[in-house]
């Protein structure tokens, strides 16, 4: 249901205008969400060196401005839902910092025709962002109660282009392969080789690694048209261990 | 209510018991927090125990007259409160949702930490109250009470270690609480207090504690640790648990979802990962046991960076240091190595893999040519006269035990310059030392290991270390090879082929062009290659400009995992709002935070009440207040500086943090107690105490300085002796130092007591305050400058103390 929230800033603007006029059902969290988007933009500018760009794809930022993050976090976290920080969502799992979600999504180069696989649904927030941009999102969660909750919440939000499966994501989702993009949010001791196999030539895979509550290092796996695989490691902080050339 | 004073005996048994229980509690808390959180919090436990003691000194100073009037019940009550609070405060602390990782984002987290800190210092406060009350009440027999206190503490440090071999930490907690209340029961008998209510209630309390369901006390492991995470997966269950002071082992099987532990597996790997059992030490440090009843070669192990040496040569004798679940041994078996020595620190781990789950692994540790040794890596290498074609250390999959639990101060003698020299000495000509590690970004430990290898090779006489080193990396792991000899063109082409087939990067080989670096797993800069090139060229510019400290660790400063440079702090702090602090090592952060917290709290709870006291009873003093402050502060700092530095130094000699801790702690406590008792003779004879203080300090300085030079060579020559002899030698070496170190404090106290009794509480308080700080300061100093500097600082502080003797 990617159209519900619109792609572009015009739609956001229209919704923003229309709701106050109607005088009710205004998304109370919209201001917070917009502030979050601005914060992400500022963070991206500050870390442009590590990211190799000054700003993220406007479509990604629109998605960030659209998805109601507060509808995908536990009730006790409603107040902090739009803070630019990772949040604990129970079951020892976390919902990533919005800034990291935005960068990961941006790195995947998703088009409206993309088929995307996500391993580790968690709260469903990343899947919702992806669903704003892609044709279809397949997402797998191994922790049953989390997967059920995410499926339920995503349905309530009206996303009809997300399919949630409870199970082991190691072998990907063969019947829907290959994928234009894959997100692996569940940390593993290695990248599951079947996922590399299900990545389309020219496709990209992104994996956040490291502490869940800090800025995470991102591993971008790219498969070129000949099937050669390279990885790029990105630490999205404004910290250069060795400045200048050596 | 009855102080039937005349018939009462000295309560030395109860004093010894509570002292033993309190010390046991301190060590137990370190274990429990290693399981629940991470071992960084061990420093905090030492510091909070000392806070409890310090605050008690002040409390008794303020309430002494009142409490002495009802000594018997007050003493009894504090013992009971210790026993109950030891369990209750731990249970309460477990309820506090402290998550150290969230400390940057959530303002409540520091408050949680502070609450835990204060809660857990409470039992120590009660224990100290009982001891200080007894010392005050029986002033005329102070030496006996003090001896009981120190002897009890010494036995407590040994007792808890033994207890942890027998029971799980949660059961040990009940027992310690019960010992506290048993002390109250015995106190009631010693003091001839009526059976009811005093003895009856204590008995009831003991029974109550022992009857607590073990389930209530089970450590609530952080949901973000490996064990908790794995247990979330449906079909995963615990099938075995073992515990010893080395750590709690938990074995998991997963019937629904395979566990698949293969650190750094090549992106091109197609070989299946067999079914595995997951073995956690202290709820983390996963090692896997492969299901291989057919004893087949396991091909997935060929797809790890650690397989490299087998593709450059065909080793016939292999040593695996830290064998864990046995992946390294299986890797060697894949290549038909005829002799495989596997060394592991934790005997329970070997019992599980070799005996209880032997059939699962296809009797991995009983296969032909495989010999398993229970030992510490350094100790084994020192005792061995075998030469190997390959020595492998892959902490990716093992040495969990050595990094957990009682390796509290995060030191590691595994990766020092001297350690690598020891390993290299046991490598046959043409053989390799292979060291694999997880990669951290920005690169840190792999670079430090490379620097360490360069320094070791040079120290072993190599003129061109760069020709003896090879470094490769995947996106997750790196493997460094150090060869006894120079790498040949044949080996280098095999190296290239190995990496190409597995999507690994070349980071260094002799003659490597810059254009070959950073090709597959691309970093912003070719940092690994740049560092290796600079280090092999003796170009210090890289090391000096790099924002992490990658200087090699040494036996004098064995903090391999310390990468922090103070001049980078402002930059890292500016990234705080962006969650940039993983760039700062968490352990260091906790340590500095603990120091600040200890400083603030010890001032509030120890010194401020004394200021209030001074206002109430301001009496002219015969001796300089400044001298009293400086003397007791210096002595407080110096004692723990020495104790901690030697505890760390002796880990190398006793080959085990556990033995070092038990031996050093017990020796220091017992002999310092004897030294302290000895001073009463001088006091009774009325000899000038300052002259004795001077002599004592001179003796401490002499021994301390002598040891900084002598211990190294002495350890080298005696390291291969059996453990019992090494423990005995350690005791003999430490006893004289500890004996003299027990003297300055009571000498100073006697002098202050004689000239200006109003200052006595100050002396206690300042000493307590210094103690709270010193445990943390000693570690910070050791990390920055090494143990020699810590010991020399202690000597200087003792000299300062002699100079300012009141």
Amino acid B580: pLDDT: 62
Determine the Cα–Cα distance for residues B766 and B537; give it in Å rounded to an integer: 51
Distance from CA of B515 to the nearest CA of A (A): 14
Q: Are B471 and B528 in contact (CB under 8 A)?
A: yes
Question: Which CATH number goes with the domain that contains B715?
Answer: 1.20.1250
| Residue from the list A142, A192, A238 with its beta carbon closest to the beta carbon of B575 | A238
Q: Which residues of B touch A235 (CB under 8 A)?
A: 441-442
Interface membership of B268 toward A (CB under 8 Å): yes
Determine the Cα–Cα distance for residues B467 and B804; give it in Å rounded to an integer: 57
Determine the Cα–Cα distance for residues B526 and B430; give it in Å rounded to an integer: 29
Residues B277, B307, single domain; the answer is no
Q: Which residues of A touch B541 (CB under 8 A)?
A: 246
Q: Which residues of A touch B101 (CB under 8 A)?
A: 211-214
Range of the domain at B677: 619-806
Edge-to-edge strands, sheet with B236-244 = B236-244, B247-254, B276-281, B284-290
Which H, E and C letters describe B384-397, residue by residue?
CCCCEEEEEECCCC
Determine the Cα–Cα distance for residues B454 and B417; give it in Å rounded to an integer: 9
| Mutation for testing the A interface, residue in B578, B580, B581 having most A CBs under 10 Å | B578
B residues 497..556 contacting A (CB < 8 A): 503, 519-525, 527, 530, 534, 541-542, 545-548
Q: What is the mean pLDDT of residues A152-161?
A: 96
**Closest C-alpha among B478, B318, B285 to residue B399:** B285
Q: At A147, is the pLDDT very low, low, confident or very high (cuts 50, 70, 90)? A: very high
Residues B688, B771, single domain; the answer is yes
In a domain, B581, yes or no: no
A residues 195..224 contacting B (CB < 8 A): 196, 209-215, 217, 219, 221
Interface membership of B68 toward A (CB under 8 Å): no
Determine the Cα–Cα distance for residues B175 and B26; give it in Å rounded to an integer: 14
For residue B804, the 8-state DSSP code is T
Question: Which CATH number goes with the domain that contains B514?
Answer: 3.40.50.150
Helix axes B608-616, B760-785, angle to 10 degrees: 160
In a domain, B449, yes or no: yes
| Look-up of token digits 């010890």 | B602
- Tell me how many residue pairs between chain A and chain B have CB atoms under 8 A apart: 149
For residue B155, give Cα distances in angstroms to A242, B54, B147, B167, B662.
Answer: 52, 22, 12, 18, 9
Strand pairing class (B247-254; B236-244): antiparallel
Which domains does chain A show, CATH number per domain? Answer: 2-234 (3.40.50.150)
Chain B nearest-CA residue for A233: B523
Determine the Cα–Cα distance for residues A202 and A223; give it in Å rounded to an integer: 5
Interface membership of A23 toward B (CB under 8 Å): no
Number of neighbouring beta carbons within 10 Å of residue B680: 16
In a domain, B687, yes or no: yes
Q: Are B723 and B663 in contact (CB under 8 A)?
A: no
> Which residues have C-beta within 8 Å of that of residue B143, sequence separation ≥ 6?
B676, B677, B680
Taking an 8 Å cut-off on Cβ atoms, the answer to whether B545 and A243 are in contact is yes
Taking an 8 Å cut-off on Cβ atoms, the answer to whether B234 and A235 are in contact is no
For residue B557, give Cα distances in angstroms to B377, B404, B410.
Answer: 18, 19, 11
Q: How far is CA B173 from the centre of its chain?
A: 20
Distance from CA of B371 to the nearest CA of A (A): 28
| Residue from the list B267, B476, B521 with its beta carbon closest to the beta carbon of A193 | B267
Distance from CA of B442 to the nearest CA of A (A): 7
In a domain, B602, yes or no: no
Distance from CA of B510 to the nearest CA of A (A): 19
ipTM computed for the complex: 0.85
Q: Which residues of B touch A215 (CB under 8 A)?
A: 578-580, 582
Helix axes B42-69, B760-785, angle to 10 degrees: 170
In a domain, B593, yes or no: no
For residue B790, give Cα distances in angstroms to B43, B641, B783.
Answer: 16, 6, 10
In a domain, B123, yes or no: yes
Taking an 8 Å cut-off on Cβ atoms, the answer to whether B521 and A88 are in contact is no
Residues B404, B492, single domain; the answer is yes
| Residue from the list A210, A217, A237 with its beta carbon closest to the beta carbon of B578 | A237
A residues 120..159 contacting B (CB < 8 A): 142-144
The terminus-to-terminus CA distance of chain B in angstroms comes to 41
Residues B233, B213, single domain; the answer is no
The DSSP secondary structure of B638-653, one letter per residue, reads HHHHHHHHHHHHHHHH
Q: Which residues of A touch B256 (CB under 8 A)?
A: 168
Interface membership of B265 toward A (CB under 8 Å): yes
Q: Which residues of A touch B548 (CB under 8 A)?
A: 241
Which helix (H) or strand (E) segment holds residue B446: the answer is helix B445-459
Q: Are B325 and B394 in contact (CB under 8 A)?
A: no
Amino acid A176: pLDDT: 96
Taking an 8 Å cut-off on Cβ atoms, the answer to whether A188 and B260 are in contact is yes
Determine the Cα–Cα distance for residues B171 and B218; give it in Å rounded to an integer: 9
Interface membership of A231 toward B (CB under 8 Å): yes
For residue B557, the 8-state DSSP code is B
Q: How far is CA B249 from the centre of its chain?
A: 18
B residues 192..231 contacting A (CB < 8 A): 223-224, 228-229
Residues B269, B232, single domain; the answer is yes
| Residue from the list A196, A213, A241 with its beta carbon closest to the beta carbon of B548 | A241
Per residue in A108-118, pLDDT (tens digit) is 999 999 999 99
Amino acid B617: pLDDT: 56
In a domain, B680, yes or no: yes
Taking an 8 Å cut-off on Cβ atoms, the answer to whether B476 and A242 are in contact is no
Residues B48, B182, single domain; the answer is yes
Chain A nearest-CA residue for B568: A241
Q: Are A192 and A168 in contact (CB under 8 A)?
A: no
User: Which of B189, B218, B247 marks a domain boundary?
Assistant: B218
Task: Using CB atoms within 10 Å of the CB of residue B234, give its burial: 0 to 12 exposed, 13 to 18 middle, 19+ buried.
Answer: middle
**Tokens linked to B670:** 């017992």
Residues B116, B63, single domain; the answer is yes
The CA-CA-CA angle for residues A166, A168, A172, to 5°, reads 105
Taking an 8 Å cut-off on Cβ atoms, the answer to whether B580 and A83 are in contact is no
Interface membership of B299 toward A (CB under 8 Å): no
Taking an 8 Å cut-off on Cβ atoms, the answer to whether B270 and A193 are in contact is yes
Determine the Cα–Cα distance for residues A164 and A124; give it in Å rounded to an integer: 9
**Closest C-alpha among B147, B135, B139, B138 to residue B678:** B147
Per residue in B524-577, pLDDT (tens digit) is 889 999 999 999 998 899 999 998 899 999 999 988 888 888 888 788 777 766
Amino acid B21: pLDDT: 97
Q: Are B187 and B58 in contact (CB under 8 A)?
A: no
Residues B703, B796, single domain; the answer is yes
Per residue in A171-196, pLDDT (tens digit) is 999 999 999 999 998 766 788 889 99
User: Which of B561, B593, B627 marks a domain boundary?
Assistant: B561
Residues B704, B767, single domain; the answer is yes
Sign of the dihedral defined by the CA atoms of residues B550, B551, B555, B558, in that order: negative
Low-confidence ranges of chain B (pLDDT < 70): 1-7, 38-43, 104, 395-410, 576-587, 589-590, 613-622
Task: Using CB atoms within 10 Å of the CB of residue B9, give its burial: 0 to 12 exposed, 13 to 18 middle, 19+ buried.
Answer: exposed
Which H, E and C letters describe B97-132, residue by residue?
CCCHHHCCCCCHHHHHHHHHHHHHHHHHHHHHHHHH
Interface membership of B448 toward A (CB under 8 Å): no
User: Which of B218, B253, B272 marks a domain boundary?
Assistant: B218
| Residue from the list A92, A99, A231 with its beta carbon closest to the beta carbon of B224 | A92
In a domain, B643, yes or no: yes
For residue B346, the 8-state DSSP code is -
Q: Are B765 and B580 in contact (CB under 8 A)?
A: no
Interface membership of A107 toward B (CB under 8 Å): no
| Residue from the list B267, B530, B545 with its beta carbon closest to the beta carbon of A191 | B267
Residues B532, B431, single domain; the answer is yes
Q: Are B664 and B408 in contact (CB under 8 A)?
A: no
Instruction: State how many domains chain B has.
Output: 4
Q: Are A6 and A12 in contact (CB under 8 A)?
A: yes
Taking an 8 Å cut-off on Cβ atoms, the answer to whether B267 and A144 are in contact is no
Spell out the alpha helix ranges (H) of chain A: 2-5, 9-22, 30-46, 48-51, 58-66, 98-107, 125-133, 144-156, 193-197
3 state DSSP class of A92: coil
Active site residues per annotation of A: 96
Answer yes or no: is pLDDT of A237 > 80: no
Q: Which residues of B touch A192 (CB under 8 A)?
A: 260
Residues B339, B265, single domain; the answer is no
> What radius of gyration, in Å, describes the C-alpha atoms of chain B?
28
Residues B230, B316, single domain; the answer is no
Chain B nearest-CA residue for A89: B223
| Residue from the list B101, B232, B581 with its beta carbon closest to the beta carbon of A143 | B232
| Residue from the list A47, A196, A241 with its beta carbon closest to the beta carbon of B547 | A241
Taking an 8 Å cut-off on Cβ atoms, the answer to whether B105 and A189 are in contact is no
């Amino acid at each position: 249901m990617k159209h519900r929230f619109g792609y572009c800033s015009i739609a956001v603007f229209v919704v923003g205008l229309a709701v106050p006029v109607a005088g009710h059902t205004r998304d109370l969290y919209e201001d917070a969400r917009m502030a979050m988007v601005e914060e992400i933009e500022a963070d991206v500018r500050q870390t442009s060196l590590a990211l190799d760009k000054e700003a993220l794809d406007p479509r990604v930022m629109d998605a960030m401005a659209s998805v109601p993050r507060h509808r995908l976090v536990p009730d006790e976290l409603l107040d902090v839902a739009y803070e630019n920080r990772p949040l604990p969502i129970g079951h020892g799992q976390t919902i990533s910092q919005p800034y990291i979600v935005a960068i990961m999504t941006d790195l995947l180069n998703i088009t409206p025709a993309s088929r995307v696989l996500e391993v580790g649904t968690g709260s469903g927030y990343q899947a919702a962002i992806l669903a704003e941009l892609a044709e279809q999102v397949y997402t797998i969660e191994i922790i049953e109660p989390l997967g059920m909750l995410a499926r339920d919440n995503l349905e309530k939000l009206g996303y009809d282009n997300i399919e949630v499966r409870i199970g082991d994501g190691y072998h990907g989702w063969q019947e829907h392969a290959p994928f234009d993009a894959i997100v692996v949010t569940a940390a593993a001791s290695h990248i599951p080789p079947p996922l590399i196999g299900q990545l389309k030539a020219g496709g990209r895979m992104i994996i956040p690694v490291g502490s869940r509550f800090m800025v995470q290092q991102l591993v971008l796996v790219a498969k070129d048209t000949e099937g050669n695989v390279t990885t790029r490691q990105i630490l999205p902080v404004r910290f250069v261990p060795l400045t200048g050339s050596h | 209510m009855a102080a039937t004073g005349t018939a009462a005996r000295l309560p030395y048994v109860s004093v010894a018991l509570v002292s033993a229980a309190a010390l046991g509690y301190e060590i137990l808390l370190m274990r429990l927090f290693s399981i629940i959180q991470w071992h960084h919090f061990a420093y905090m436990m030492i510091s909070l125990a000392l806070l409890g003691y310090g605050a008690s000194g002040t409390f008794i100073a303020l309430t002494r007259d009142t409490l002495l009037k009802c000594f018997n019940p007050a003493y009894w009550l504090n013992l009971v409160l210790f026993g109950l609070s030891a369990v209750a405060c731990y249970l309460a602390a477990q309820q506090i949702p402290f998550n150290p990782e969230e400390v940057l984002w959530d303002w409540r987290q520091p408050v949680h930490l502070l609450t835990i800190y204060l809660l857990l210092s409470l039992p120590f406060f009660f224990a100290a109250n009982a001891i200080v009350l007894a010392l005050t009440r029986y002033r005329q027999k102070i030496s006996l009470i003090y001896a009981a206190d120190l002897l009890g503490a010494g036995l407590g440090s040994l007792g808890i270690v033994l207890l942890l071999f027998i029971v799980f930490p949660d059961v040990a907690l009940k027992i310690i609480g019960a010992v506290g209340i048993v002390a109250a029961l015995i106190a009631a008998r010693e003091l001839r207090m009526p059976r009811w209510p005093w003895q009856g209630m204590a008995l009831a309390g003991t029974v109550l504690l022992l009857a607590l369901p073990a389930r209530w006390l089970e450590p609530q492991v952080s949901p973000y640790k490996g064990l908790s995470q794995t247990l979330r997966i449906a079909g995963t269950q615990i099938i075995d648990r073992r515990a010893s002071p080395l750590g709690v082992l938990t074995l998991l099987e997963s019937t629904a979802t395979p566990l698949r532990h293969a650190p750094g597996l090549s992106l091109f790997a197609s070989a299946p990962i067999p079914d595995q059992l997951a073995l956690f030490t202290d709820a983390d440090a996963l090692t896997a046991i492969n299901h291989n009843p057919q004893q087949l070669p396991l091909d997935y192990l060929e797809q790890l960076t650690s397989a490299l040496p087998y593709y450059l040569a065909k080793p016939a004798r292999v040593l695996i240091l830290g064998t864990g679940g046995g992946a390294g041994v299986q890797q060697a078996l894949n290549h038909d190595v005829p002799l495989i020595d596997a060394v592991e620190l934790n005997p329970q781990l070997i019992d599980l893999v070799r005996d209880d789950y032997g059939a699962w692994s296809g009797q991995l540790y009983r296969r032909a040519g495989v010999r398993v040794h229970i030992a510490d890596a350094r100790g084994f290498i020192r005792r061995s006269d075998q030469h190997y074609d390959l020595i492998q250390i892959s902490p990716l999959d093992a040495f969990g035990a050595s990094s957990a639990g009682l390796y509290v101060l995060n030191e590691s003698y595994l990766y020092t310059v001297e350690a690598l020299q020891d390993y290299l000495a046991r490598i046959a000509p043409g053989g390799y030392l292979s060291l694999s590690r997880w990669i951290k970004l920005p690169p840190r430990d792999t670079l430090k290991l490379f620097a360490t290898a360069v320094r070791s090779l040079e120290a072993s006489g190599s003129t061109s270390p760069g020709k003896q080193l090879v470094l490769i990396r995947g996106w997750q792991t790196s493997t460094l090879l150090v060869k006894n000899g120079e790498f040949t063109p044949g080996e280098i082409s095999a190296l290239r082929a190995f990496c190409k087939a597995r999507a690994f990067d070349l980071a260094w080989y002799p003659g490597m062009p810059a254009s070959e670096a950073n090709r597959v797993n691309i970093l912003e800069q070719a940092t690994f290659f740049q560092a290796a090139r600079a280090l092999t060229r003796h170009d210090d510019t890289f090391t000096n400009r790099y924002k992490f400290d990658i200087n090699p660790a040494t036996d004098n400063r064995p903090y391999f995992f310390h990468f922090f440079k103070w001049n980078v702090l402002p930059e890292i702090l500016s990234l705080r709002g962006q969650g940039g602090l993983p760039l700062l090592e968490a352990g260091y952060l906790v340590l500095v935070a603990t120091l600040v917290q200890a400083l603030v709290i010890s001032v509030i709870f120890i010194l401020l009440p004394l200021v209030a006291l001074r206002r109430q009873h301001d009496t002219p003093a015969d001796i300089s207040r400044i001298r009293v402050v400086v003397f007791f502060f210096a002595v407080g700092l110096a004692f723990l500086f020495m104790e901690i530095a030697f505890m760390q130094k002796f880990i190398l000699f006793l080959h085990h943090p556990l033995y070092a801790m038990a031996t050093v702690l017990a020796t220091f406590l017992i002999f310092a107690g004897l030294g302290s008792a000895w001073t009463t003779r001088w006091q009774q004879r009325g000899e000038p105490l300052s002259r004795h203080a001077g002599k004592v300090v001179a003796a401490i300085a002499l021994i301390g300085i002598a040891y900084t030079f002598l211990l190294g060579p002495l350890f080298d020559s005696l390291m291969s002796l059996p453990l019992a002899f090494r423990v005995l030698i350690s005791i003999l070496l430490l006893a004289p130092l500890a004996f003299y170190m027990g003297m300055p404090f009571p000498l100073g106290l006697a002098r202050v007591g004689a000239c200006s009794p109003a200052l006595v509480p100050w002396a206690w308080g300042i000493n307590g305050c210094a103690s709270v700080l010193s445990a943390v300061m000693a570690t910070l100093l050791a990390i920055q400058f090494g143990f020699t500097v810590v010991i020399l600082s202690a000597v200087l502080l003792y000299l300062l103390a002699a100079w300012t003797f009141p």
